[in-house]
Structure 1
Amino acid sequence: MLSPTTPPVLRRLLPADGLRRGSTVSVTGSLTLLLALLAEAASAGARVTAVGMPVVVGLVPGEVAALPDPGPGWPRVVAELLHVRGSVVVLPAGAVSVRDAEQLAALARQCGSVLVSHGPAWAAADVLLEETPGSWPPFRDGRELGVQVRGRGNASRPVRALLRLPMRHPLRAAA
């Protein structure tokens, strides 16, 4: 089953034309890319929780629930949210152990949630989205990003593209 929360501009790059429920996605290097995923998910009605992210920039308050400092037990917090919230973003302060990443990915599959991490790539991720090197200047209503998508299964063959990510609303900080 495909998630209706994938931004249209990214669908053509992702396996099966979108994020699958029960999948784990790792976003590296680009907060803009992460925010595009979150903004579209929230605007489509998904329940999104940012865990370990002190400020959600670019998203209107109420669209995304934030748990800025879940403490050292953050994997347990994320596990609970996977059961309840449906979509979860994890931005841990430090490295994620292979064991924690694998257990959370398995739980996302079991619960039919979409688990998105930002920061260092998770070994357990089904799909890796990363900004490609280079400077991509902003355009009038957004930003251009070079993106590479790779992963397992249908995503095993890397795909690259230049994306125009629209700005849905002015950047603002939400707590």
Structure 2
Amino acid sequence: MVRAVAAAVVLQVWPLLAFLGGLLAVALAWFASSGDGVPAEMAWWFFKAAALGLAGSFALHEVAHVVVLKRLPHVTHIAIERTMWRTSVIPAGTMTALQSAGVAVAGPSSCVIVGAGLWSMGLDRALAWWYLVHLVFLLPFFGDGRNLVHGLREAVALRRARRTRE
């Protein structure tokens, strides 16, 4: 399932990756024949941003959801949903409110951890931003943010109901 999710994300952006891969091949051929490395550096920057930044960060995001979902005993199936603009995972089965909130946080937080690591080690700060920006998916107008808010509200409501019964 982890491979299938990662592959679905890559398939989502394959035309962009193919175009940029072709551009990189042409730029490398130009470098080999002319000695001018500037086009190759530019093409590599674009390809790296698309492959490692865009596709890599979203693949990690969705794979992290799957890893957490697979650990939940009452999740019976995980489906991959692809639309024109996104790839996401849809669980079947039951989860507690806190489990639902945890699944919502898993995707963005995994990316933020990788981004923070890239940033703090000074490896590639431009690439780090592709991962760090996943924090915005915890805002309530994105699916993960809605699931987080819903899960936390439900958990608080259940806790209040238990207190009033006692």
Relative to the length of structure 1, the TM-score reads 0.23
> Normalized per residue, which structure has more strand?
1
Relative to the length of structure 2, the TM-score reads 0.24
Q: Which has the larger radius of gyration?
A: 2
